[in-house]
Amino acid sequence: MSRPLPPGSIVDCHTHTRFSDGAATFEEMARAAEAAGCAVLVSTDHLTLPAGPMDPDGEVQVVEADLPAHRAAWEAARDAHPALEIVYGFECDWYPGCEEAVARWSAGARVRLGSVHWLGDASDGAWIDDPSDLRVWHELGPDEVWRRYVAAWCAACESPLAFDVMAHPDLPARMVPEGLVATIELAPLWDEMVSCARDCGRRVELSTAGWRKGVGDWYPSRGLLERFRRAGVPISVGSDAHRAEDVCWGVRDAYAHAWDVGYRSADVPRADGSWEPMPLR
């Protein structure tokens, strides 16, 4: 077992490199993490359906043929930064029927984030968080996008992949800056998400990315985070950094916010595969 981390240690559970849709290398991300005083850095490049409508050119994800090079580059960064604990993980795009492929691609990962960015299945669907393609939002309207998103999110929670963390739980809020705002009361949908996470034993992510993307809020928003807290659903904290300068961005503020909402600890993955609840202060 690893030695417990001191309370309030900087841990970033969600980061990307240029192997998926990030801008930096593992080495650059590790260097930036050290400069930010990071104790544990979790790399979570995207795993997305290849050669299909989700990512036909393999731009967003680590394609299967690149997985050995991905692993080797991660190991090189880990070995070059022995003072930094670097954990190998993936952000897995959940869609109906993804399990077999995702299990194969993510073998060897210590951390698997479960994310719903896509409404639909392997043959047809649409991204919900791409401001350059808002067709699904205009076709279905924000209320129906939210309903379908929550149904997919709950199915992802229940997936046998048993994700370690459900990332950015209320991602449709990403489109608030585009004026795409639900008119229905979201609380009943939030309650469904909370029940699902609790009953499935999932953690949820407190993400700082919304503050960098103009959402002007945390993912999840306070009302949803308070519900997770009351239900005893643990959190992990992540920046969702796609650039070296965003590694660990806002993590200390996230700890303060979580404390304010009533959390006293955040769960932290360790290099040996264990998870520990780290006191926020």
Which residues contact Zn ion (rule: CB under 5 A)?
Answer: 91, 115, 240
The CA distance from 46 to 61, in Å, is 5
Minimum separation from the CB atom of position 96 to Zn ion (A): 18
CA torsion through residues 248, 165, 233, 216, sign? positive
Minimum separation from the CB atom of position 212 to Zn ion (A): 12
Q: Which is nearer to Zn ion, 219 or 263 (CB)?
A: 219
Minimum separation from the CB atom of position 6 to Zn ion (A): 27
Q: Which is nearer to Zn ion, 55 or 91 (CB)?
A: 91
DSSP letter, residue 55: B
Q: Which is nearer to Zn ion, 94 or 255 (CB)?
A: 94
Strand 125-127 with 275-279, pairing: unpaired
The CA distance from 223 to 220, in Å, is 8
Q: Which is nearer to Zn ion, 170 or 240 (CB)?
A: 240
Our CA angle for 43, 37, 241, nearest 5°, is 35
Our separate counts of H helices and E strands in the chain read: 8, 11
Integer angstrom CA distances of residue 262 from 62, 63, 167: 37, 40, 20
Q: Which is nearer to Zn ion, 55 or 240 (CB)?
A: 240
* Tokens (6 digits) for 124: 């047809």
The CA distance from 246 to 242, in Å, is 7
Q: Which is nearer to Zn ion, 81 or 168 (CB)?
A: 168
Q: Which is nearer to Zn ion, 78 or 117 (CB)?
A: 117
Residue 72 burial by Cβ neighbours in a 10 Å radius (0-12, 13-18, 19+)? exposed
Minimum separation from the CB atom of position 160 to Zn ion (A): 21
CB within 8 A of 148, min separation 6: which ones?
Answer: 119, 140
Minimum separation from the CB atom of position 265 to Zn ion (A): 23
Minimum separation from the CB atom of position 266 to Zn ion (A): 18
Minimum separation from the CB atom of position 48 to Zn ion (A): 10
